[in-house]
Amino acid sequence: MVGSVGNGLANLADKPAPLPEELDPKKIIDSLPLEEESNGIEEKKREIVLGRNLHTTCFSIVEPEADDEQTGEREAYMASVLARYRRSLVERTKHHLGYPYNLDFDYGALSQLQHFSINNLGDPFIESNYGVHSRQFEVGVLDWFARLWELEKNEYWGYITNCGTEGNLHGILVGREVFPDGILYASKESHYSVFKAARMYRMDCVKVETLISGEIDCVDFEKKLLQNKDKPAIINVNIGTTVKGAVDDLDLVIKTLEDCGFKDRFYIHCDGALFGLMMPFVKRAPKVSFKKPIGSVSVSGHKFVGCPMPCGVQITRLEHINALSSNVEYLASRDATIMGSRNGHAPIFLWYTLNRKGYRGFQKEVQKCLRNAHYLKDRLKEAGIGAMLNELSSTVVFERPKDEEFVRRWQLACEGNIAHVVVMPNVTIEKLDSFLSELVQMRSGWYGEEKGKPPCIAKDVGTDNCLCGSHDK
């Protein structure tokens, strides 16, 4: 029977006691002070709303009882838990808008491979003694991305990572190995993993100001470069910032470096987590190419491509990788990756989608996302809600909803007074209409004559895009 057992584990029906109140992240807490800027001025603290505490709702693990094989109650219990969980996933997917994941995929044809422990440990290009791998798929995917970014087969090295963050960690690590005394420069709207890399590698890091669009401010970049002319520069260039989807001007960044006397003394890593795969299919978009003096590019595989597990692609120049690479006798291979074991299923998923869609398929999906993003931005403004959409982006930024339950329901990503929707291939006009209808209805109860005004977001999106009452004249 399923229930209490002799080793003192809790009954399945019992819930673990909640954490003490002081540890409950449902409360609004002050964030830790942000790191000091290079000019010595400390940023102000900002209140951050954390998500629910999952210790109160986790699925506990309980040892099976001696007669469980006969009764089958444990299997029935686990089946019911999984069925409920699947229903919750279906429901949450219906209301997913704030994070850049393409949920429109079908990998049923690959289910036959789920019985194998596929591990691509070590170098993608050198087979190890572990034979259950998918390197032939991985190298095929890497070749596709190398062509996309205009780097010859004999000039690149790369691998399929576990996520976009790993791509940033690796790209910045390569830059640090090329210039051991280099200073890392990144705009203040760069992904948090860039600053995590600086802490992990104990690198000097300079945050650069941004324009209202979220793009790096090259005037401030020039000023900060000139303060450190004696040290090489390692630069993170954003191909789509996390919150506003802004694309840094790569050509202007390169020109600024050369004008400041850094020619041949810089390394550029391009963080293309989402838009690195969208930009090549946008007309008039600036090109990300290894024909320019960049060192590495990384993208996420589970974002625009769509994949059931987090993964990514990191490509760098072969000439840079020897400093990181070492022979591993245990593997009978080389290794220059961040992780040891690597998910061998991810390359197969990526290979499958790249073959099914190809360049034309991705181009159609990019165009659809951009059209739908413009539709959402226009509808928000028609409803009197301040909103902004960068020219090369499918990320629509707007005033943060007042109700945190609404934010959680639609899984919106928020920062300060703004929130965003990332329009992905799975986001339809019908889904956007449902969101807009609910937002407008809820908002009518948040604001009014005696309820206060919506927040001013002019400092985040510019006065032209703010409709707070002071800026909608």
Question: What is the rounded distance in angstroms from the CA atom of residue 449 to the CA atom of residue 164?
Answer: 46
DSSP state letters, 106-145: --GGGGGGTTS--B--S-TTS--S-----HHHHHHHHHHH
C-beta of residue 300 within 8 angstroms of C-beta of residue 273: yes
473 Cβ contact list (under 8 Å, min separation 6): none
C-alpha 111: how far from chain center: 26
The CA-atom distances, in angstroms, between 385 and each of 19, 35, 398 are 38, 33, 7
> How many Cβ atoms are within 10 Å of 133's Cβ, its own excluded?
20
Closest to 218 (Cα-Cα) out of 177, 164, 258: 258
Dihedral (Cα; 384, 390, 394, 396), 10-degree rounding? -30
213 as an active site residue: the answer is no
281: left (phi over 0), alpha (psi -120 to 50) or beta: alpha
DSSP state letters, 189-206: TS-HHHHHHHHHTT--EE
454 Cβ contact list (under 8 Å, min separation 6): 385, 386, 399, 443, 446, 447, 467, 468, 469
Of the candidates 296, 298, 393, 394, the residue annotated as catalytic is 393
Question: What is the rounded distance in angstroms from the CA atom of residue 134 to the CA atom of residue 109?
Answer: 16
| Residue positions annotated with a catalytic role | 393
